[in-house]
Every structure is written in C-alpha cells, then in structure tokens.
Amino acid sequence: MAPKSLILIVDDELFFREILQDALSGDYDIIEGKNGDEAISLALAHKPSLIIMDVEMPGRSGVDACKVLKDMDETAAIPLILLSARSRKDDLILGLQAGADDYFTKPMSIPEVTARVDAHLRTSDYYSELEHKDLLFLLELSENIAAIRNPMTILRLIVKKMAEIVDLTRCSIISINDRGEACVKASNDLKRNDEIKLELSRYPEISKSFESKQTIIVNDVKHDPLMDSVRQYIHELDYNSIVVIPIIKKESVIGTFFLRTSSPLKDGITLRVRKLCQLVANISANALENAILFESMKTAQEYFEEMAIRDGLTKLYNHRYFYNRLEEEFSRASRYGTPLSLVFFDIDNFKRVNDTFGHTNGDKVLAQIGSFMKKVARESDIAARYGGEEFALLLPNTPAAGALDVGTRLCTIIREHQFADLDGGKISISAGVSTYAADNLQAFEQLVKLADEAMYTAKKQGKDRILQA
C-alpha cells in the first residue's frame, strides 16, 4: 500500500486546524503548526507534499512565511495554499505575489477544500487511466475556455466536447438556485438558447449530489436503490449509467452547477470516464469563476461609467455630458446638413415650492420632471439636468416645428400633473426652443444662448409657455 501524502496545516486557531484535520486525515497524514516560524521549520524538517497556512498569525505572518518558503530551494516546489478571512483580500494578494499557489477564504467549503487539495496532490499515476485522446481533449478544452468570457458559451462548449469524446447519451450542466430550483443550462441535445426546468424529485442522483456536494455514480440505473423513487419513470431509458459531479469553486460567486452525464455503457462508469468527468468539472469551475467575475467587473465598470455622466437626483445626463454631446451633435449636423434643436426650460416659481414644501419634496418634484422628460424623449435624444431647476432636451435631426411640438407636449404633461409631494398641487414651466438649420449658427454655444433667451422671454410674458427663438 502506497504511503499517504503528508500535509502541513499552519493556523494559530485550533478550531480551523481541527476542521482541516477532520476533512483531510482520512486520505492524508497531517502535521500541524501554529505560526509562520513553525511553518518554516516543519516544512524543512518533514518536506510535506502540501502546506495549508493561515495569512494572519501572531509573530511571523503567513505571507512572510510563504515568501521565505518559496525563496528556499528545499521548499520552493511544495504547493502552498493560504487561508484568509474574506475581509483580508489585500493580504491574499500579497501572498499570491509572494508565490502561494492557491487560497481558501473562511468560512471554508469542505468539499471545495478536499477537491482542490486532491488537485494539487495528483501525481502522474492519476492520469494513467486516461487515453491519449482524453489528454488532448483536456488540453484543447482548457485552451478554448481560457479565452472565453461568456459563461453560457463555456457551458455549451463543455457539454459538446464531452459528448464527442465519451460514449454518452447525454451530457448536461444543471444549475440549482438559492430557492432549490433546478434548470438545465446546457446540454449536448439542446438548442443554443433552450433551458429546461427540472423537478428535482425526479432526479434523486442530482438531489443527493446537491445535498452532499459529492460525486454520485449510478452504475445500474434500472436496479440501483437510489433510483427506487423514480423507477416508474426510468424503465424505458436508453442509458444504464449516470455520473453527477458538483462543480465547486467559490460557490458564493458562481452558484451551484453540476456536470451530469448518462451513458449506455453496460459495465457502468469506468475509472477513465469518472476521472475525465472530474477533470472537466474542475476545468469548468475555474473557467466559470473567471468568466462570471469578468462579467461582474465589466458590469460594475459600465455602471460607474454611466453614473459619472448622470445627475444623481433625476438620473438625467449631467451638465458636462450634455455639453460634450451638444458639441458632437452640432458637428454632425453641420457635416451632414441635418437640423438640430434644443428645448431649454425652467420650473416656474420653484423657490416657492422649496419654501412651502421643503427641499426634500422639491427634490422629488425635480426627479418627477426627469421622468416626464424620459417619456417624451426618443432614444437618440439627450435629456439633461442643466443645473438647479433648469433642464435641456437636445433633439438631433429635428426641425423647429418638431422641437416646438415636443416642448409643447412636455409643458402640457407637467402643467396637468398633480404632484403628490405638493399635496396634489400643480406647477408649470417656461421653455425656449432653438434650432440649427441651413448653417444659421456658427457655434454650438449659440444654440444654448438662443434657447435660454427664448425661455427668459417666456417668463417675462407671464410664464407657463414655450417660445421659439
């Protein structure tokens, strides 16, 4: 019998050492340390196959110990996994820069720990059951999905390639959400955008894998006791074996996915098929994590970029963005000889609103005005809060008559609305419209100047009206 691999666990907290000891001692020999100095001395003395070490410890930290171990020839090649609380991300980054090979965050997912420890400790013997085409397949799959940032594209590629390399009736990836609802996200026999909801009670093998977070193998679908509850549904199935493997990698990030394959193989799931499925699940986990993190970063970046050009109160475009777009649209209109119009308006007697109902209710009125502007604006129009209670609506490819019509509709909507925050009271606006057409203006600033002058003329004539410049 081959000797067990030796793992060094270093953490100043006994609680976490015991958790890891319980999880790993069945398959590995364990030695323990309590700080960074002990980690270095024990690693030099025992040459463990793997080191799991906490980042934050009294005395020498895990990051410092990691750097020392990775700088010494005797210990540099030993895989080192760091442990850290989620709040210590900066320390983790320093640890990875110091040479750590992997990390876990506390609280730990034990199935994830065991799966990734196993991955770090695999020897060449692990792959002896795999065929040459399997290794080429894994290499090709890794290269392909490393370049993909769309999670669904990754899932579809995985099931397609698995079905090609192994004799499978079906290869699927199933997700289970926080409500316990299961859905087939990708399958080799599904069209590109199809999804199928599953009733988990009909799939005891998936339920068991979900509950245990362990690989489930059914070698004889017709007679395995696990399938007794669904015997009436499976007697005519054209497959004999099932493998369900949880795809575990930072579950809080990627959710819960399962690789499920069904095969007509009479002799059940071979060691080759099981190992291949496990390796594909591991590759999938890394790819899904990277893709979803990429998507979330992209979404966050787009969100912050959008917020930088929006007014926080009304969610209309802000003054700076309005002028950037005005200059662009004026240049475009000049180049192509198309009209460009601007509706510029101000809320009548808005100071009285703030004085009577307070600034909080005044802000709610401004936000409501923003909503009205979005209703009348086309997708190509630029609705902006110019400043205070002044607003602007830039209308590309719109002649004077069309702009006057838009402005009139906006005036009417606002005039007729009963504002709940003003105890059902009403307000009005004074507006001015200006238009660039047939080279009548030389600069984009003139468009604002003319609309602003028309607006003030409207105020002088009694307010609650719109005038053409």
pLDDT above 50 (res 291): yes
pLDDT confidence tier of residue 296, bands split at 50, 70 and 90: low
In this prediction, residue 330 has a pLDDT band, given cuts at 50, 70 and 90, of: very high
Cα 354–Cα 356–Cα 357 angle in degrees, nearest 5: 70
CATH superfamily, with its number, for domain 124-300: GAF domain (3.30.450.40)
Q: Does residue 251 register a pLDDT over 50?
A: no
Mean pLDDT is lowest, of 132-136, 247-251, 331-335, 352-356, for: 247-251
Three-class SS state of 341:
strand
**Confidence label for 226 from pLDDT (cuts 50, 70 and 90):** very high
HSE-CB for 123 with a 13 A CA cutoff = 5
Question: Which pLDDT value is given to residue 252?
Answer: 41
Tens-digit pLDDT profile for residues 136-150: 888 787 777 767 767
pLDDT value at residue 108: 77
pLDDT mean over 295-310 = 72
Q: Is the peptide bond before 107 cis (omega within 30 degrees of 0)?
A: yes
At 64, the pLDDT band (50, 70, 90 cuts) reads very high
Q: What is the mean pLDDT of the chain?
A: 85
What confidence tier does 188 reach under pLDDT thresholds 50, 70, 90? confident
The DSSP bridge partners found for residue 85 are: 106
Tokens of 11: 């953490």
Which of 190, 151, 166, 184 lies closest to 278, judged by CA? Answer: 166
CA angle 433, 437, 440 (to 5 degrees): 95
Portion of the chain with pLDDT greater than 70, in percent:
90
Between residues 382 and 132, which one has the greater pLDDT? 382
Tell me which of 254 and 422 has the higher pLDDT: 422
The CATH 3.30.450.40 portion of the chain extends over 124-300
Please enumerate, as own/partner, the contacts of 190-196 that have beta carbons within 8 Å and a separation of 24 or more. Answer: 192/156
Supply 446's token pair. 């003139």
Q: Look at 446 and 240; give whichever has higher pLDDT.
A: 446
Instruction: Please tell me the CATH superfamily of domain 6-121, with its number.
Output: Response regulator (3.40.50.2300)
- Mean of the pLDDT values across residues 132-138? 82
Q: What is the mean pLDDT of residues 411-438?
A: 94
**Start-to-end C-alpha separation, the chain:** 94
Contact between 387 and 375 under an 8 Å Cβ cutoff? The reply is no
Please give the pLDDT value at position 460.
Answer: 95
DSSP string computed for 241-300: EEEEEEE-STHHHH-EEEEEEEE--TT---HHHHHHHHHHHHHHHHHHHHHHHHHHHHHH
Residue 195: predicted pLDDT: 73
Nearest to 112 by CA among 229, 237, 256: 256
The pLDDT value recorded for residue 324 is 92
Task: Provide CB contacts within 8 A for 202, sequence distance 6+.
Answer: 230, 233
Mean pLDDT of all residues in 302-309: 78
| Listed residue (467, 223, 451, 431) closest to 340, CA to CA | 451
Choose the weakest-confidence range: 210-219, 245-254, 386-395: 245-254
C-alpha angle with apex 367: 363 to 369, nearest 5 degrees?
115
- Is the pTM for the entire model greater than 0.85? no
Q: Where are the beta strands (DSSP E) in 165-220?
A: 170-176, 182-187, 196-198, 216-218
**Region of residue 419 (phi > 0: left; psi between -120 and 50: alpha; otherwise: beta):** beta
Q: pLDDT band at residue 343, thresholds of 50, 70 and 90?
A: very high
pLDDT at 348 exceeding the cut of 80: yes
The domain at 319-468 falls in which architecture?
2-Layer Sandwich (3.30)
pLDDT tier, 289 (very low <50, low <70, confident <90, very high otherwise):
low
User: 242 pLDDT exceeds 80?
Assistant: yes
pLDDT score recorded for residue 68:
95
More confident residue, 353 or 209: 353
State the span(s) of the chain assigned CATH 3.40.50.2300.
6-121
Distance CA 74, CA 80 (A): 14
C-alpha–C-alpha distance, residues 21 and 73, integer Å: 28
The mean pLDDT value for 236-261 works out to: 68
pLDDT band at 126 (very low <50, low <70, confident <90, very high): low
Residue range(s) of every CATH 3.30.70.270 domain in the chain: 319-468
Poorest-confidence range of 165-179, 219-233, 413-427, 454-468?
A: 165-179
Q: 3-class DSSP state for residue 346?
A: strand
Which carries the bigger pLDDT value, residue 465 or residue 143? 465
Three-state DSSP class for residue 379: coil
Question: Can you give the pLDDT at residue 160?
Answer: 86
> Could you tell me if 322 and 311 are in contact, meaning their C-beta atoms sit under 8 angstroms apart?
no
Instruction: Determine contact, residues 347/367, Cβ cutoff 8 Å.
Output: no
